[in-house]
Amino acid sequence: MKTILVTGGTGFIGSNLCERLLRQGNKVICLDNNYTGSVENIKELKRHPNFRFVLHDIIEPIKIRAHIDQIYNLACPASPAAYKGSHSILTTKTCTIGMINVLELAIKNDATILQASTSEIYGDPLQHPQKETYWGNVNPIGDRACYDEGKRCAETLMFDYYRHKNAKIKIARIFNAYGPKMNKNDGRVISNFIVQALTNKDIVIYGSGEQTRSFCYVDDLISGLIKLMNSSKSVTGPINIGNPEELTIKKLAEKVVRMTKTTSKIVSKHSLRDADDPNRRKPDITIAKAKLKWNPTTSLSEGLKSTIDYFKTVI
Ligand code: UDP
């Protein structure tokens, strides 16, 4: 039995990961400041004897008495709606000071640390689909920079701790995850569209809707993260974890309308699209397939169905 720390454990991905790790027979310490996460997400888990919740912000030094074998560092606001604006400085601190605190804890415990990095580090990519070797096209002073540059710096810190302090590191670059336990007010496109559809409100596309994304169902993502964490020491990443099924935001809106049978209208608001919103995004997952033997198996239709069913229970 391993003792595993999940920072950001009350968030959407974190809480799904805690649940899977407990089911696999591990001890799980879930740590969060609950800024975007919610204790609602871990309500069931709290009853489990191998589960512990710690209310803490990783930008403060972390003291945990138990010996930790593995750390998943998921702590960070991840929706543009949550990290842009007034929380941007906190976001950068989480990715830098917070990353250092979590790395120091990993060193102290000789634990393997997996960093949840992101497709946002590619910015508005000039290469399509995106391979791990691509260095990205990021605006360092834009609205999204706190997250994009923050996550880039977090990768830098991971590699400097690997090179100079023998940290055991793994970096996953996550592409647009979705699924049950997303916060209905999260602000991301899938939760917004489903909530708008289920409440018969207008479905609001930011811009023309010609921009694309490739959405990865949370169960697939978690299988990929766990495979990466338990891969051989030489596999540090970064490795793209995503589903290459790419579609336009307009097609996504139409799909949500069909699947929910809503009377909502699809409308476009150009003023709501931010200047650095990437135009196209699709992961190249050749490395994940080869090194992790991982492949997403949930189609967008299947994943959306369970996500819609989940949102029906919470709105
Ligand atoms: N988007 C949209 N309507 C919304 C929320 C987002 O049209 O209610 C668009 C957004 O402009 C972007 C895409 O959907 O082009 C994905 O946005 P999201 O915030 O989900 O993720 P990210 O931009 O980080 O990929």
Q: Which two tokens stand for residue 55?
A: 């209310």
Q: What is the per-residue pLDDT for 85?
A: 85
Which residues of the chain register pLDDT less than 70?
A: none
Best CA proximity match to 113, nearest among 236, 246, 284: 236
Of 72, 122, 147, 206, which residue is the catalytic one?
147
| Structure tokens, 184 | 């209905």
| Separation of CA 61 and ligand 1 centre (Å) | 33
Residue nearest to atom 21 of ligand 1 (CA): 188
Pick the residue whose CA is nearest to atom 5 on ligand 1: 189
- Look at ligand 1, atom 14, and give the residue with the nearest C-alpha: 189
Measured from the Cα of 274, ligand 1's closest atom is 11
Q: Residue 284 has what pLDDT?
A: 98
Measured CA to CA, the distance from residue 14 to residue 177 in angstroms comes to: 12
- Residue spans of the domains in the chain: they are 3-177+217-244+279-297
Cα 221–chain centre separation = 9
Q: How far is CA 121 from the centre of its chain?
A: 13
Query: Given the CA of residue 211, which atom of ligand 1 is nearest to it?
Result: 15
User: DSSP assignment of 137-160, as one string?
Assistant: B--TTSTTHHHHHHHHHHHHHHHH
| Contact 250 CB / ligand 1 (< 6 Å) | no
Query: Is 72 one of the catalytic residues?
Result: no
Question: CATH number of 3-177+217-244+279-297: 3.30.420.40, 3.40.50.2020, 3.50.50.100, 3.40.50.720?
Answer: 3.40.50.720
Quick: pLDDT tens for 275-305.
999 999 999 999 999 999 999 999 999 999 9
